[in-house]
Amino acid sequence: MKHAVSFISLLLAMSVSAQTYDFTVTDSVAVTPVKNQASSGTCWCFATASFLESELLRKGKGEHDLSEMFIVRQKLINQLNDNYLRRGRGNIGQGSLSHTFLNAYNQVGIVPEEVYSGINYDSPRHNHGEMMAMLEAVAGVALKAKKRSPQYDAMVKSVLDTYLGPLPETFTYRGKTYTPKSFAESLGINTSDYVELTSFTHHPYYEAFELEVPDNWEHARQYNLPLDELMDVIDGALRSGYSVCWDGDVSERGFRFANGVAINPDVRDLSRYSAADSAVFAPLTEAQRLDSVMTFSRPYLEIVVTPEVRQEGFESFVTTDDHLMHLTGLAKDQNGTKYYVTKNSWGTDRNGFGGYLNMSESFVRAKTIYVMLHKDALPVALRKRLGIR
């Protein structure tokens, strides 16, 4: 628990400031150290692994560092199979969603990071560019031949062994011998306990639908909630000791990892600002106003995000499925604005906040694609309404 306690201490000590943003953490959950996905498109796996590591801490199972690349390897095999059967029209990119981790976990189990780092090449960090090119080339040969030969299967295995390393059949961890399956069983994670939730107006509320994003290549279904209710569920979970796996858009100018914040500033409606601020903003173009806000000299007013505003962003492809991270707490700035303490997977040397950032409530309302959390974090009435046992 040493690392978990030290990271909680870091969060509570944050009262950090991104320039003159002053944050106070109000709620936090136990966490494991920040990792670095480096030059790999595997945020989905790092975020979900971090989420499950916090779940193990919450459940009293101790601190574990789970191998992301063990799961990534099985996901790639699953994708190649899906792509072949779809005649090359599947998704064999590096991205995926949280349920992909759970599906692979059920198939092959899990191992600790110390057993399978997934770096079997001359690099201190993950770098998947060449490996993915090799896999795509092998996949193309099978599609052209309209046949997956024994040699095809051997080539896929060879590429994965070469870059990620051969799979361990058994291993010793903390004095006990396991297989990947028996280790997963020892952790006591029931993957059916986890649900994915979203909020969009083009599908009925309180029903599940298949999110129309490219990384949902496994065609999973997410429960659709009214926006206010989704936010209440996230807040209630974090205040009750449950963390949240988050997927959303980080391509906006207001997402500034280096500054430790993600904001959604309102530079259009000057009527919301003080007379002094309005006088400064009025002569400026919208772009110039945004530039002034992006100096992060202090918090500014943010967009009031309604379901309609959120839907417009999604359907105009402004809000995109970019990145998964791990929500580990709640914070507020000096004006009382709510933020979500967010653990990223870009290492600890790219900002001054230990690899964390704080995303504003407006940003999260607008830019969330979906979240995953334990079903016990849902209000009882909502669980019943959704038919979740």
Task: Write the pLDDT tens digit of every residue in 120-165.
Answer: 999 999 999 999 999 999 999 999 999 999 999 999 999 999 999 9
What whole-number distance in Å separates Cα of residue 147 and Cα of residue 380? 50
Is 43 known to be catalytic? Answer: yes
Q: How many CA atoms lie within 13 A of 246 on its CB side?
A: 32
How much of the chain exceeds pLDDT 90, in percent? 87
Residue type, 384: K
344 is catalytic: yes
114 Rama class: left (phi>0) / alpha (psi -120 to 50) / beta: alpha
- Block residue for tokens 């400064």: 280
Structure confidence at residue 268 as a pLDDT band (50, 70, 90): confident
Q: Which superfamily does CATH assign the domain made up of 2-264+302-386 to?
A: Cysteine proteinases (3.90.70.10)
3-state class (DSSP) for residue 125: coil
Helix (H/G/I), strand (E/B), else coil: 130: helix
| Active-site residue, selected from the candidate residues 99, 128, 323, 326 | 323
Is residue 371 within 8 A of residue 246, CB to CB? The reply is yes
Q: What pLDDT is attached to residue 297? A: 84
- Here the tokens at position 114 are 């110390």
Predicted confidence band of residue 295 (pLDDT cuts 50, 70, 90): confident
Judge contact between 350 and 364, C-beta under 8 A: no
Q: Which residue, 96, 105, 288, is CA-closest to 192?
A: 105
Say whether 127 is catalytic: no
Query: Which residues is 243 bridged to in the sheet?
Result: none
Residue with tokens 């992006």: 294
Q: Which of 344, 351, 358, 374 is catalytic?
A: 344
Per the rule left: phi > 0, alpha: psi between -120 and 50, beta: everything else, 383 is alpha
Q: Give the global pTM.
A: 0.93
Residue 141 falls in which region: left (phi positive, over 0), alpha (psi -120 to 50) or beta: alpha
pLDDT digits (tens, 9 = 90+) for 151-210: 999 999 999 999 999 999 999 999 999 999 999 999 999 999 999 999 999 999 999 999
Q: Which of 36, 43, 99, 245 is catalytic?
A: 43
How do the domains of the chain map onto residue ranges?
2-264+302-386
User: What pLDDT digit, counting tens, does each position of 1-54 carry?
Assistant: 444 444 444 443 343 444 588 999 999 999 999 999 999 999 999 999 999 999
139-165 burial string, b = 16+ CB within 10 Å, else e?
A: beebeeeeebeeebeebbeebbeebbb
